[in-house]
Structure 1
């Protein structure tokens, strides 16, 4: 045992050695530099030495033996956070709870995701696109009620190496509580109507209240993206969701103002949806959408839509061999979506209808593959678009 370690642990106990009996171990004489500290630890029951009444200070200690000492020191109220963090696995095997300690030691956590995807949809001259996307998530605990989340993203175009790759913060926001209200503010991802209306970055603030029945409302600016109508200078949104047995119900309203594609173009979208879970594996849902888009006071666009979704199981990153299927049918008017969550070609269409099928599978722990197929038709000019999207996601 190192000199500094013995002294540090002894001081952490906060008691003096003079109150204890002399010569606890035959190989630690009264004149030894560590006598007082070893005496203190022995009297407190933190160290026991060997069966022959020796301390064995010149012997190498196993991690398990050290963990036992740390556990006993913790039980006595010693502040040994750094040691407990170092021997967390061994302490866990000993059944020592260190949840509070881990919370202090791991105040900032970093996780990540790497996604490779390949798609064929006719958007590019060669008919395909392939990219590598990396995301690093940073989570910091501010206090018991507030935390920070940031996300750095880098995309690399593997098709033609255009050189436009960049790394930037795609998310940066805080979450916390003010009384009974959950607050979120900054640049976060906003998903409206299960992504059938909008699913992209959003700069704003959101408040949520309730548990079984949850009310959410927010205000801000839709962040620029590469899809139609994805930016709006001012956005108001609200949603109400709850469950009745196996039936989940949700309704949303979103008011987009000054959309970038048409000067002073405003739009609002209502959604109402219901999903029934037959069991833990199978669910069926339907959503009705009502949009309104006025330019110069003239309303002339298709403004209704619906989406039907059927799901079976689902791949879980931590469960090797888990898999899932999702099938959807869409019939959405042009004003019912601004930045759709799908990977199909719909965002370049003036309203669309068609279907998609998705399959996912966990090949190894934290490695999930997914394939999506879309067959869609533009409601304005009847042009068709078929898309195949495939990806492999690694999380860490």
Structure 2
């Protein structure tokens, strides 16, 4: 055992080298430098020695023996859950029944994480050309309310560089603030949070809402009520500006797994939609299936919308999306990568705030069709690069194209 470790533990218990109890170990004489510290640790029950009554201070300890000492020191309050010894011997402590994660939560109730994304969107085609770079920084604050509930908040800063504003358009917002937890078997999320309906093909943005979800074996049922994209929550359009998208809404999803097959049906009703291609109330039904082949997955979704402004414009109110994915970059695993592709054929009444980075919002009530291809790669731990290419065109009589090359680097911490 190292002299510094023995002395440090004794000091943590509030003992000096001259104030000590009787020493139980035959190989630690009264004149030893470690006499007082070892005696105090033994009296506190932190060190036990060996069956033959010796301490064997010059013997190198195993990791398991050291973990036993750390566990006892934790129980006695000699060290805290955030001590470096605890993190160093976390696996051994777990094997000893010391739940380090719970101790850390009690010691540090609020955690701060974040990510930085540098992205560039380059658009060409019949709807004009544009190029913009955006630096987005997010800070997440997660606090434990109790064993069942957490509070999450997020602050986001955006700086857009579009050639005319080389210094960047600085914009900082308190964008998310919500509680999440369980009431019996019901998982609840309430507050301002980001949501992702129908794989993002219908809506991917913030809402002020309450969501409840229940699982029955491999089946799940979820329902949401709230507001979307109004004065306090908004959607980013593809040219980097903000736009409102709607008001009150209700949404419900029923889904489940059958082996490697996932099935899902969803319904969304949103009031007072206000986008460039649709206004008024909108109702959207979706039915989707996704099959996992191991490293690959294949998905298909049918969408049906009902909106008066689209009908009056003789627009299209239904459509489908086909998706294919192979592997995928994992932030914690350098060298992992993935490829993905989608084909879209969506009428104007079937989407409100799409998850895609293509220029879908330049089209009219007829909607759009076209494809996306892309890939991602983890360059180093917590550093993921991604590239996407879109070629979209109107579902109406026009054959005009909107092509987008999107690239990004995301660093998480």
Pairing partner for 1:215 from 212, 221, 229: 221
- Report the Cα distance in structure 2 between the residues aligned to 1:146 and 1:382, rounded to whole angstroms: 52
Farther-moved stretch of structure 1 (165-174 vs 42-51): 42-51
Once the two structures are superposed, the pairs formed by residues 58-73 of structure 1 within 5 Å of their partners are 70-71=69-70, 73=72
Question: How big is the alpha-carbon RMSD for the aligned residues of Structure 1 and Structure 2?
Answer: 3.8
Change (3 A) 1:21 1:261: closer
Provide the residue aligned with 1:103 in structure 2. Answer: 105
For residues 80 and 289 of structure 1, do their structure 2 counterparts lie closer, same or farther at Cα, with a shift above 3 Å needed?
farther
Matched, 1:388 2:390: no
**Partners of 1:188 and 1:199 in 2: how far apart?**
11
Match for 1:314 among 315, 328, 334? 328
Matches within 5 A, 1:261-276: 261=275, 265-276=280-291
Name the CA distance, whole Å, in 2 between partners of 1:390 and 1:285. 24
Q: Is the 8 A contact 1:85 1:105 kept in 2?
A: no
2:181 matched to which residue of 1? Answer: 176
**Residue 207 of structure 2 corresponds to residue 193 of structure 1:** no
Report the CA distance between 1:99 and its aligned residue: 3.0
- Residue 20 of structure 1, CA deviation: 8.3
The 10-residue stretch of structure 1 (2-11 or 154-163) with the greater mean CA deviation from structure 2: 2-11
SS of equivalent residue, structure 1 residue 382: coil
Which deviates the most, 133-142 or 228-237? 228-237
Which of 256-265 and 181-190 deviates more?
256-265
Q: Does 1:371 align with 2:373?
A: no
Partner of 1:14: none
Asked if structure 1 preserves the Cα contact closer than 8 Å seen for 2:26 and 2:54, the reply is: no
Matches of 2:40 and 2:384, distance apart in 1: 54
Residue aligned with 1:210, SS: strand
User: Secondary structure of 2:308's partner?
Assistant: strand
- 1:242-267 CA distance string (max 9 Å, x none): 01111110111000101235997100
Q: Distance in 1 between matches of 2:247 and 2:206?
A: 13
Alpha-carbon offset, residue 360 of structure 1 = 0.9
Taking the aligned partners of 1:131 and 1:327, their CA distance within structure 2 comes to 24
Confirm or deny: 8 A CA contact 1:190 1:199 kept in the other structure.
Answer: yes
Which shows bigger deviation, 236-245 or 121-130? Answer: 121-130
1:148/1:226 CA distance change after superposition, 3 Å: same
For 1:225 and 1:127, locate their aligned partners in 2 and report how far apart those are by CA, in whole Å: 19
**Does residue 167 of structure 1 match 2:168?**
no
Residues 165 and 9 (structure 1), Cα distance of their counterparts in 2 relative to 1, 3 Å cut: same
Give the structure 2 partner of residue 153 of structure 1. Answer: 156
What residue number does 1:59 align with? none
User: How big is the shift at 1:392?
Assistant: 1.1
- Once the two structures are TM-superposed, the CA of residue 320 in structure 1 deviates from its matched residue by 1.6
TM-superposed deviation, 1:44: 4.3
SS of 1:165's equivalent in the other structure is strand
Distance 1:44 1:72, change over 3 A: farther
Q: Which residue of 1 aligns with 2:304?
A: 290
Task: Return the TM-score normalized by structure 1.
Answer: 0.83
SS at match of 1:310: strand
Q: What is the alpha-carbon distance in structure 2 between the residues aligned to residue 65 and residue 312 of structure 1?
A: 42
Q: Deviations over 1:9-64 (max 9, x none)?
A: 269xxxxx9898799954479xx9x96x86442234424799998999xxxxx9x9
Aligned pair 1:225/2:235, yes or no? Answer: yes
Q: TM-score, normalised by structure 2?
A: 0.80
Query: Is the alpha carbon distance of 1:390 and 1:264 closer, same or farther for their aligned partners in structure 2, counting shifts above 3 Å?
Result: closer
Unaligned runs of 5+ in 2: none
The answer (yes or no) to whether the contact 2:71–2:93 under 8 Å persists in 1 is: no
